[in-house]
Amino acid sequence: MINFNVKNKDHMLLIGFIIVVALAPIIMAPIGGGYPDLLQKFAIFGIFAIGFNILFGLTGYLSFGHAAFLGVGSYTAVWTFKLLTMNVIPALILSILFAGVFALLIGFIVLRRSGIYFSILTLAFAQMSYNLAYSVLTPITNGETGLQLRLHDARVLDGLFGVTRGEGLPSTSLFGMSMSGWSGYYFCGVIMIIAFYISIRIFRSPFGMMLRAVKSNQNRMSYTGLNTRPYTLAAFVISGMYAGLAGGLMAITDPLAGAERMQWTASGEVVLMTILGGTGTLLGPVIGAGVIKYFENIFSSFNDGILMEAFSWLPEFLQHAMVSVIGLFVGEGWHLTLGALFMVIVIFLPGGLIEGISRIGNVIRRWRKPKPLPTTEADTAASE
Amino acid sequence: MDAFLLQVLNGLDKGGAYALIALGLTLVFGTLGVVNFAHGALFMLGAFCAVSLQSLLTLERVVLDPEKLTAWGTPMEIRTPYIVEWFGDFGMTLIDWSVPLAILLAVPIMLLLGVIMERGLIRHFYKRLHADQILVTFGLAIVVQEIVKAQFGANPIPQPAPSMFTGSVDIGLMLGFAENAVVYPLWRIVYLLFAGVVIAAVFAFLQYTTFGMVVRAGMADRETVGLLGIDIDRRFTIVFGLAAVVAGVAGVMYTPILSPDYHMGMDFLVLSFVVVVVGGMGSLGGAVAAGFLLGILQSFASMNEVKSLLPGIDQVVIYLVAVVVLLVRPRGLFGRKGVMES
Amino acid sequence: MSILSVKNVNKQFGGLKALNEVNLEIEAGTVHAIIGPNGAGKSTLLNCFVGRLDPDTGSVDFDGVSLLGMKPHEINQVGVSRVFQTPEIFGDLTLVENVMIPSFASRDGAFRLNGWGQVADENDVRENAMELLEDVGLVEQCDTVSNQLSRGDKRRLELAMCLVQKPKLLLLDEPTAGMARADTNNTIDLLKKIAKRGLTMVIIEHDMHVVFSLAEKISVLAQGTVIAEGLPNEIKGHPKVQEAYLGGAHL
């Protein structure tokens, strides 16, 4: 019979995920990633990519404008901090809500088209939002400076609940627990676990199955009595809400929102994370986000001095040559590595790292288990 | 009326650049069926051909003159470009004309780059999903852009037009308007003429040569042309090279209008894609018409009168047009029926 | 009682009159074949039944409801399923998933945001799907990705996808086109089995062997008009049909 017993597997996956998130500080320490700021970034971009994957991985609609929803989430969160309270819960709820509404409006229009037209439409909308954030919407976005907290912000709810105003700028908190350092990371981590769990549920639900059907054959879908538009719109809005959540979390770790978060290169980054890890897989996008943010952190901190030291064992002329070649890819040149990675993945490993891992797994299994066939043949030959 | 004319003229030069980039984009899409996100990078590379030629021509010999002293009492440095040392006044002229001369450099370079790109990368993506094509060329665009950044730095590098074209003309005066009402830089006129010539050349090439006929047939029905036993692969390579050359020379000539920097390709690409979509995927005439149309529209939207009426319209007008066109007439203004309409 | 009633339908493409005053009544519980030479307008007519095209004039009523202006998914929801000439299946999904999707569509309607329920809990839908796969003889391959099937198997899968919805009317567009003889015979047997259950079917077909093995009633379409209609025996000897169809040769 069919193996529909995926539930147990998913539970194992989730438990493993929780353990990794909990132990990340220890796991990442030996490779220089065991500090809260970086891990927090992993979690935030992980959420962003998980959400993007619900749209791109399941339905195949390639959006080049998801950073716009991230931006909306960030602006909403900072405004909540300014107007209502420094507590993070209302900020997150409103971020998700606003991003969702924004995604609903945009999705309603852009989902009239599919394929490359959809990609270009999302790109057009994201660029429009970005341009507007820099120009007309300056009263809301504070233009190039970015939206920041001020001492005399209203913070109505904090006032009502008698939170005393300090001397300096207030910081974000969860009912008094500060959102910086390790508590900040674990807060983001818990949210990522919830986000991951929701994504598992969606993947395994009839709704998720319909989304995969959208990717596979829309024509058959409508002749099967299914209306594809609301399905794609729902996926679009859900992934927009994930992006809004990620944007809100960014504002929590650093209460400043700028329009550059909405630029289309930022949208390109989440696409890369998703395909790098493995489009349409549960774990892929999180892995992709982690790998990219980790290497960004490591690579962009390298400079020629460090490289010269690393290659000091080489003869001098070789040392200089190596440094100048590798220097292209690190530090300021990190984006070059990113672009090259993009190409390599699409060309050689369209299934992403998850596919790569399973390929390696297959090779190892074959290598460890020598073919049983010759022995049986020998046996039969002997018995004859 | 004169204000109207001025805006049209202002829109034309940007429109010329859009048209030239969009022409190549749509040519490649129509024949090869590939969505090339790296096309903007080719425009940018063209612009940097001009930058390279200029820095090559202005390589200087530095001589210390002990007779003359600077304010700090050190011997004054006398810098003379080698080319002036060798050729005298002719050398000066060469430096002055470095931008138009760069075309001679850009044509072979861009052709070569185009062929390498098609043979080495694009060819393997004919049969892949559009999403994959977008992703891989997007990656390539980032790579090219970052290499240029590493080589030439992040700041724009101004490129002067030849001195005989640096001034402006008072077109308004010629047409009987008030003095200084419609003043237009000379180089932009040159650019417009240039764009017109290139567009005409591309169309003539496609219209009147056998090669062009095959390409047009290929745009209409790729499979049949392949069945006719025509070596379509080699022609595709040439088409891609041609598109690269058109984008490249457009980039060269645009440098006096906009000082080139490493991300100009991306900036123009997004807009050129919108142009292609508005004109109609795979429609050459549509790309040119939409390029100029959107250029002019953008220039009108940035008039103060319009901006005060509709704040921010200058930032979004092109995208708005694209959205409306895609929703109302998805095949674009001039697109053939059934081409990528879904 | 007629379940599908087509009255005075006209459809023009540019200068070409694809359908000219077509009238057709499909009796409930019968297998009705529409035959005709290439370009007779068979596919155009079929497309008018499923919402892909709307006729210029005339009416198409199904079970008392007008199908005009309805979208494909709405027409399916009132009980019309269609098998395509080239199999339209969910190629990236497994066979059992392919059959479960239409089953969900009949149970939950055109859209349901069921993102929290789990497919693994939908035992009745799965069992239903397995039964249908059993019916068409594909139950062994239920976990394979459907892209890997042969063309004949794909078509049988598509048939299972339609049947799982328990449609009131099943439209088949050349169900044996491009099949080997053995496959064709298998398909005929399968369709006969289904017909016995009382399902109304409309078949468009070129292969006369298939038509005369299955059809209880035949309409002949030529140049956009119904030129003859009747029982298989009547059609076989009909002079007008022979002329239009084979230029006078005997069937």
Give residue C117's Cα distance to chain centre.
32
Out of A289-303, C24-38, C80-94, pick the least confident: A289-303
Which of B142, B319, B340 has the CB atom closest to A117's CB atom? B340
pLDDT surpasses 50 at A380:
no
pLDDT above 70 covers what percent of chain C? 97
State the pLDDT at residue C247: 57
Min distance C241 CA to chain A CA atoms (Å): 33
- Residue B268 to chain A, least CA–CA distance (Å): 12
Of A2-11, B86-95, B242-251, least confident by mean pLDDT is: A2-11
Binding partners of A (≥3 Cβ pairs within 8 A): B, C
Is residue C227 packed enough to be buried (19+ CB in 10 Å), middle (13-18) or exposed (0-12)?
middle
A340 touches chain B (CB under 8 A): yes
For residue B129, give Cα distances in angstroms to A62, A157, A336, C50.
Answer: 11, 51, 24, 29
List all chains that touch chain B, counting a touch as 3 or more CB pairs closer than 8 Å.
A
Q: How many inter-chain contacts (A to C, CB under 8 Å) are there?
A: 115
Q: Is B171 helix (H, G, I), strand (E, B) or coil?
A: helix
DSSP run (H or E) holding C2: strand C2-13
Which residues in chain C have their CB less than 8 angstroms from residue A3's CB? Answer: 143
C88, closest residue in chain A (CA to CA): A220
The one-letter code for the residue type at B68 is K
**SS3 assignment for A322-347:** HHHHHHCCCHHHHHHHHHHHHHHHHH
Question: What's residue A1's pLDDT?
Answer: 39
Spatial separation of the C-alpha atoms in residues B132 and A345, rounded to whole Å: 10
For A76-104, the pLDDT digits (tens) are 999 999 999 888 999 999 999 999 999 99
Least CB–CB distance from A4: residue in C90, C111, C126 = C126
Establish if C155 touches chain A: CB-CB under 8 angstroms.
no
Let me know the angle formed at the C-alpha of A207 by A222 and C119, rounded to the nearest 5 degrees: 115
Contact A223 C72 (CB under 8 A): yes
Q: Determine how many CB atoms are found less than 10 A away from the CB of residue A213.
A: 28
Q: What share of chain B is helix, strand, coil (3-state, %, to 5)?
A: 70, 5, 25
Q: What 8-state DSSP symbol labels residue A164?
A: P
Hey, are the CB atoms on C120 and A5 less than 8 Å from each other?
Answer: yes
Instruction: Point out the residue among A134, A336, A346 whose CB comes nearest to the CB of B143.
Output: A336
Q: Is C34 helix (H, G, I), strand (E, B) or coil?
A: strand
Residues of C in contact with A212 (CB under 8 A): 90, 92-93, 97
A344: closest chain B residue by CA: B136
Of the CA atoms within 13 Å of residue C226, those in its CB half-sphere come to 19
Tokens 């708005």 sit on residue? B320
Q: How far is CA A253 from the centre of its chain?
A: 16
What mean pLDDT comes out for the span A323-337?
A: 77
Q: Which fold has domain C1-79+167-251?
A: Rossmann fold (3.40.50)
Q: Which residue bears the tokens 């539970």?
A: A11
Residue carrying structure tokens 């001009």: B50
- Do chain B and C touch: 3 or more Cβ pairs under 8 angstroms? no
pLDDT at A370: 61
pLDDT at B110 over 90: yes
Tokens 């796969």 belong to which residue?
C133
CB–CB contact A227 C111 (8 Å): yes
Q: What is the pLDDT of residue A230?
A: 96
> Per the CB < 8 Å rule, is A4 touching C119?
yes
For the cut 50, the answer to whether the pLDDT of residue C47 exceeds it is: yes
> In chain A, at which residue ranges do the beta strands (DSSP E only) sit?
147-148, 173-174, 177-178, 256-257
* Whole-prediction pTM: 0.88
**Shortest Cα–Cα distance, A40 to chain B (Å):** 27
Summarize pLDDT for A39-68 with one digit per residue, the tens. Answer: 999 999 999 999 999 999 999 999 989 999
Looking at residue B127, its amino acid is: K
- Asked if C197 contacts C204 with a C-beta cutoff of 8 angstroms, the reply is no
Closest CA to A123 of A147, A106, A143, A144: A106
As a whole number, mean pLDDT of residues C11-32 equals: 90
Which residue did the predictor score with more confidence, C213 or A170? C213
Q: Do A123 and B326 touch (CB under 8 A)?
A: no
Distance CA B121, CA C124 (A): 49
Q: Tell me the domain boundaries of chain C.
A: 1-79+167-251, 94-165
What ipTM does the predicted assembly reach?
0.91
Are A343 and B139 an interchain contact pair (Cβ–Cβ within 8 Å)? yes
Kindly list the residues from chain C whose CB atom is less than 8 angstroms away from the CB atom of residue A221: 73, 101
pLDDT at residue A5, as a whole number: 61
pLDDT of residue C245: 67
Enter the DSSP assignment of B105.
H
CB spacing of A209 vs C77 below 8 angstroms:
no
Q: Indicate the average pLDDT of chain C.
A: 89
Residue B342 has pLDDT above 50, yes or no: no
Q: Which residue has the higher pLDDT, A303 or A74?
A: A74
Q: How far apart are CA A102 and CA A105, in angstroms?
A: 5
**What Cα–Cα distance (Å) separates residue B342 from each residue in A218, A225, B279, B337?**
11, 19, 16, 11
Q: Is the CB of A134 inside 8 Å of chain B's CB atoms?
A: yes
Ranges of each domain in chain A: 38-263
Per-position DSSP letters for A271-301, written without gaps between them: HHHHHHH-TT-SSHHHHHHHHHHHHHHHHHH
Q: What value does the mean pLDDT take over residues A164-185?
A: 81
d(CA C155, CA B235): 39
Query: d(Cα A5, Cα A9) in Å, to the nearest integer?
Result: 8
pLDDT band for position B337 (cuts 50, 70, 90): low
Q: Which residues of A touch C81 (CB under 8 A)?
A: 223-224
- Closest-CA residue of C relative to A216 is C90
Residue A219's pLDDT band, with cuts at 50, 70 and 90, is very high
Q: What is the DSSP string of A56-89?
A: HHHH----S-THHHHHHHHHHHHHHHHHT-SBHH
Phi and psi, residue A376, nearest 5°: -60, -40
Amino acid at B212: G
Nearest Cβ partner for A124 among B138, B139, B323:
B323
Residues in chain A with CB shorter than 8 Å from the CB of C116 are: 201, 205
CB A101 within 8 A of CB A36: no
Bridge partner list, C219: C34, C229
Is B301 or A249 the better-scoring residue by pLDDT? Answer: A249
> So where are chain B's domains?
2-328
- Determine which of A275-284, B82-91, B232-241 has the lowest per-residue pLDDT on average: B82-91
CA distances from A94 to A85, A245, A260, A262 (A): 12, 9, 21, 18
Which one is predicted more confidently, C191 or A3?
C191
Contact criterion met (CB < 8 Å) for B143 and A339:
yes
Calculate the average pLDDT of chain A: 86
pLDDT tens for B52-97 read: 998 888 888 888 777 777 777 777 777 788 878 788 788 888 888 8
Within the 115-154 window of chain C, which residues sit less than 8 Å (CB to CB) from chain A?
Answer: 115-120, 122, 126, 130, 142-143
d(CA A232, CA A105): 13
**What pLDDT does A371 receive?**
55
Average pLDDT score over residue span C206-222: 88
